[in-house]
Amino acid sequence: MANKIRPIVRAAFRCEGLVYQFERIDVEDGLLVNGDMAEVNAKYDDAHIIDDAENRLDICLDGYNLDDPDFIREARQLRAFLNRFKKAVA
């Protein structure tokens, strides 16, 4: 029987920046094999996902990225994600 996907993981996959982090960066760094939802659910605890979200938000808020519509959208998604889950993990 497959593990049930946690709500934080489902929500993380609605944030473009976290999907990029898992599917591209973490796979290229050898942390994940394919970066899909089931693998993230199995390998990353909630605190790790929150840390990744905070790091991605820092990238979005870098001075070079503040005018980029993609980073603006990503920052909005990450703020909503962190507002929902950060208190629960703390």
pLDDT in tens, 43-67: 999 999 999 999 999 999 998 888 9
- Alpha-carbon distances of 45 from 8, 9, 25, 36, 78, rounded to whole Å: 10, 9, 18, 15, 17
pTM: 0.88
Residue with tokens 């973490």: 26
Residue ranges per structural domain of the chain: 7-85
Average pLDDT over residues 67-74: 93
Confidence of residue 12 (pLDDT cuts 50, 70, 90): very high
pLDDT at 90 over 60: no
Q: Taking the CA atoms of 37, 42, 44 and 47 in sequence, report the sign of the dihedral they define.
A: positive
